[in-house]
Chains A and B, each alone.
Chain A
Amino acid sequence: MRLSNLLRIAWRAIIRNKMRTLLTMLGIIIGVAAVIAMTAIGQGSKQSIEGQIKTMGSNMIMIVPLSNVQGGVRLDNSSVQSLDENDITALQKQPVYINAVSPVVSVKGQVINGANNWSTTIQGVYPDFLFIRSWPLKDGVAFTNRDVKSAAKVCLVGLTVIANLFPDGEDVIGKSIRFKNIPFKIIGVLSKKGDNSFGQDQDDMILTPVTTVQKRILATTYYQYIYASAIDEKSTDSASAEVEQVLRKSHRLTASNENDFTVRTQAQLVSMLTSTSSILTILLTVIAGISLVVGGIGIMNIMYVSVTERTKEIGLRMSLGARGRDILMQFLIEAILISITGGLIGIIIGITSTKAVTLFLHWPTAVSESSVLLSFLVCFITGVFFGYYPALKASKLDPIEALRYE
């Protein structure tokens, strides 16, 4: 029997029971729409996280002292004392894959300008910090290595801090602000950076020479982090290995000692942050997949009903010369047509709702072609799989008994 004939017969059977067919399709429609929307939202958030992390400087490497356990007390980062100036010196000695290094020491507190005050973070860094974070100045100039040497009381200020301390919008360069009773002269304004991937406002920040924080505020010689940057994106892994090697040497760790610091590259950070969202995507996709299976069972059920209902028709067709194979194909194609039509409707609804999510909730989304293709394929397979047994039952009917069926 020709495929065109089979398709026509199946199509008529479907439109003859429009409501029933639609209800049967519902499981498939919901399943496919959910798969498309879920993967689009998952993909979108992953891409946006990747994009945000890129803005932190794609070649950036972060060195964090290991919060080792001492006497059962887990110490917080700022009191862990494994990174100091020796490490910086070691890293700067003969760098191969590293082209910039900066320590970070941060302290939280109140900054005051006259009657205005604002609680923020002061980070002590090197001038190279701006390069590592690819963070240009909006205004003014950066402090220099000489300022670092002299622990100069100068600072670069983020936009959020300015907005709170200078609500009138006046020119801030050259103005003085006080932090813990120390006056800092504003010499530059940081350009807007926005929220980081953890949702923190990166513009709520003041940068000063690292020595200023160490000597004038905290009275410490240690660093909380060291940031470095690799010479290019491809070299981040080599750079990370280099950092590890240099620091192990400068910390005099023997082969049996474990690292007392961790080195993280951007790539690792990306995979860390996206892993939760991909787990969520997988989970939701599994749920959507289950609803596809349920939809398939619905199709199977309705096909059994249809075969029973049309037993007499099957007998007639057989007596007029339809072979078992023709009947099998007729019902199989009907099942496939139901599932594929459901799938197409699901794809349309999935894409539309994805667009709606972007439009109204402003969530980033990205409909992937592969998810559309995959759902279509899964629908086809669902139709074949769940349609086969009812169709087989139909094809095995005895023409005489089927004709006699009431």
Chain B
Amino acid sequence: MDSVIVDIKNLKREFKIGEETVKALNDVSFTIKTGEFITIMGSSGSGKTTLLNILGCLEKPTQGQYLLDGTDVSKLSKNELARLRNKKLGFVFQSYNLLARTSAIENVELPLLYNNEFSASERKEKAIKALEAVKLKDRMYHLPSQLSGGQQQRVAIARALINDPVMILADEATGNLDSRTSYEIMELIQELNDVHGKTIVFVTHEPDIALFSKRTITLKDGKILKDAINTNIGNAKAVLEKLPAPEEFSTTTA
């Protein structure tokens, strides 16, 4: 499993605000192989989110080439990009971005609403499976307001999983969570990577989170500062077990 899924060459992204030009990404090149788990690190304003948005086909680079699964993304229309996101990508956001007053299962179903290949019953079936994968099947009909932050993020991960994406993109997915809950999310992400073979790109600025990934790309002022393979990958499950168990907290370990 080492086919190249992402191939980026000399990527530039500039924002013009009045007279000034901000170079959010300045000549970035790298490749991602199927099954990799990459964290993108860097200080605030270094261009992490911008890079992730480009990887997620939500934004177009000003210059440079981006091949996703062999397709030149710059040649695709808006609608084709939407279709690509719908079928091949999964997003997890820092602020969860669940639809308010909408049950967990319906939030999870959302991507499939935009895919005519699935009937209502298939949609529901897949949503239940995805919620099972994040161990929230028993909270299926809860509203986001009735779920904890960690649970909401797990619903968001289930939503990112439902369309069987080739790559999951997460932007500071643990940014709003305490460290225990963050480890729980990381355990889930590691499982998706190890067991289900999902390619994962995970933006974070917490070094202890980056430890769980297989490779870390560090950005600085829109350039790649460091691109290193982790030799000593942490195991989120093991870390969790070592933490003193707080009362009235049901662990997510199966």
Contacts and interface: CB of A to CB of B under 8 A. Distances in A.
Contacts of A321: 82-83, 85-87, 111, 114-115, 163
B73 to A, nearest CB: 14
B123 to A, nearest CB: 9
Contact of A317 (B53, B87, B110, B120): B110
Contacts of B111: 320-321
B114 A320 contact: yes
A325 B85 contact: no
A286 B121 CA distance: 49
B26 to A, nearest CB: 19
Nearest to A316: B97
Contacts of A325: 79
A403 interface: yes
A74 interface: no
B147 interface: no
B59 A326 contact: no
B91 interface: yes
Interface residues of A, number: 23
B101 A319 contact: no
Interface residues of B, number: 26
A321 B159 CA distance: 12
Nearest to B118: A2
B58 interface: yes
A202 B155 CA distance: 82
A16 B93 CA distance: 25
A313 B91 CA distance: 14
A323 B78 contact: yes
Interface string B83-124: 101110001010001010110000000110111100010000
Given A318-B82, A403-B97, 16 more contacts: A1-B114, A12-B102, A16-B101, A313-B99, A316-B97, A317-B114, A319-B56, A319-B91, A320-B111, A321-B83, A321-B87, A321-B111, A321-B115, A324-B82, A399-B58, A403-B58
Interface in B50-73: 53, 56, 58-59
Nearest to B85: A321
Contacts of A316: 97, 99, 110
Given A320-B159, A399-B58, A400-B53, A326 B97 contact: no
Give the one of A16, A312, A320 with max B CB within 10 A: A320
Give the one of A2, A12, A319, A321 with max B CB within 10 A: A321
A399 to B, nearest CB: 5
Interface string A360-398: 000000000000000000000000000000000000000
Contact of A1 (B79, B97, B113): B113
A2 B163 CA distance: 17
B171 to A, nearest CB: 10
A277 B99 CA distance: 54
A397 B134 CA distance: 32
A361 B250 CA distance: 70
Contacts of B83: 321, 323
A94 B91 CA distance: 97
Nearest to B83: A321
Given A325-B79, A400-B58, A320 B91 contact: yes
Contacts of A273: none
Given A16-B101, A312-B97, A399-B58, A323 B82 contact: yes
Going nearest first, the 6 A-B pairs with the smallest beta carbon separation are A321-B86, A321-B114, A323-B82, A320-B111, A323-B79, A321-B85
A348 interface: no
Contacts of B56: 319
B169 to A, nearest CB: 10
Interface in A310-335: 312-313, 316-326
Contacts of A312: 97
A5 interface: yes
B113 A5 contact: yes
A400 B97 CA distance: 13
Contacts of A322: 82, 86, 114
Contacts of A323: 78-79, 82-83, 114
A334 B53 CA distance: 30
27 contacts: A1-B113, A1-B116, A5-B113, A9-B113, A312-B97, A316-B97, A317-B110, A318-B82, A319-B58, A320-B85, A320-B86, A320-B114, A320-B159, A321-B82, A321-B83, A321-B86, A321-B111, A321-B115, A321-B163, A322-B82, A323-B78, A323-B83, A323-B114, A324-B78, A324-B79, A400-B59, A403-B93
A403 B93 CA distance: 10
A318 B85 CA distance: 9
A9 B58 CA distance: 23
Nearest to B50: A400
A316 B101 CA distance: 15
A270 to B, nearest CB: 58
